[in-house]
């Protein structure tokens, strides 16, 4: 992932803001991250097109359920990551948020391409987590493991400064723990080699993210 893009303006042409010019730079950085998210999505689609088509998972397969549910799970992480990049006060929090947003958007592209290549709809008839043996019990108030409630998302949107940083880290740690639980589910239940390979990469990435999130939270006194 890349750091927020710098502008080409000379120092004496940069608008002065209350935060020493960082507001203007942050706006350009948000545009750069948005572009990176789109690129990640396109790369994810390209990667998904490489999925073998000789043996395609069916509509009720663990692979299809995982792709659908993890797309929803990832979508919330992307939203939270974008908020962290835009609203975070701590530089590491902004970097972590940007990395999560771009990385998981690319994985969404991969999973949606799987479904299309298998001839399946983006959404199915089964309830969330039905593909996992313990899935029904893991769903709380309609939310998959680790997902934030609408009220929690509203609180994160309204937070600023140090409060935002700590809240984001706490919520994303919980979100990643839930995501790893789901990824382990497909690693245990799945049979498609390409899906298993990508899922293992997802797990490795999220475990690394967790270490960084937990270290940042400890540093910020959360």
What gap in Å lies between CA 108 and CA 129, rounded to an integer?
17
Instruction: Determine the structural domain holding residue 209 and report its residue range.
Output: 62-220
28 occurs within a structural domain: no
203 occurs within a structural domain: yes
141 occurs within a structural domain: yes
pLDDT in tens, the chain (222 residues): 434 444 344 444 444 445 555 555 566 566 667 666 655 656 655 555 554 445 799 999 999 999 999 999 999 999 999 999 999 999 999 999 999 999 999 999 999 999 999 999 999 999 999 999 989 999 999 999 999 999 999 999 999 999 999 999 999 999 999 999 999 999 999 999 999 999 999 999 999 999 999 999 999 998
29 occurs within a structural domain: no
Give the domain CATH number at 70: 1.20.1260.10
1 occurs within a structural domain: no
Task: Give the total number of structural domains in the chain.
Answer: 1
Q: With 0.75 as the threshold, say if the pTM is over it.
A: yes
With H, G, I as helix, E, B as strand and everything else as coil, classify residue 41: helix
With H, G, I as helix, E, B as strand and everything else as coil, classify residue 172: helix
């Amino acid at each position: 992932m890349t750091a927020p893009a710098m502008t080409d303006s000379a120092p004496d042409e940069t608008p002065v803001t209350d935060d020493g010019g960082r507001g203007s730079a942050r706006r350009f950085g948000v545009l750069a991250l948005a572009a990176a998210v789109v690129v990640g999505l396109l790369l994810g689609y390209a990667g998904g097109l490489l999925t073998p088509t000789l043996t395609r998972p069916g509509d009720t397969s663990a692979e299809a359920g995982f792709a659908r549910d993890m797309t929803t799970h990832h979508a919330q992480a992307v939203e939270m990551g974008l908020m962290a990049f835009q609203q975070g006060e701590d530089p590491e929090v902004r970097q972590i948020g940007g990395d999560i947003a771009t990385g998981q958007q690319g994985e969404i592209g991969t999973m949606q391409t799987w479904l299309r290549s298998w001839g399946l709809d983006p959404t199915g008839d089964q309830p969330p987590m039905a593909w996992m043996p313990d899935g029904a019990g893991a769903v709380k108030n309609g939310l998959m493991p680790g997902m934030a409630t609408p009220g929690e998302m509203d609180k994160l949107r309204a937070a600023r400064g140090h409060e935002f940083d700590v809240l984001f880290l706490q919520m994303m740690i919980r979100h990643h723990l839930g995501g790893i639980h789901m990824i382990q589910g497909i690693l245990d239940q799945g049979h498609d080699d390409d899906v298993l390979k990508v899922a293992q990469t997802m797990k490795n990435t999220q475990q690394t993210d967790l270490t960084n999130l937990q270290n940042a939270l400890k540093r910020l006194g959360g």
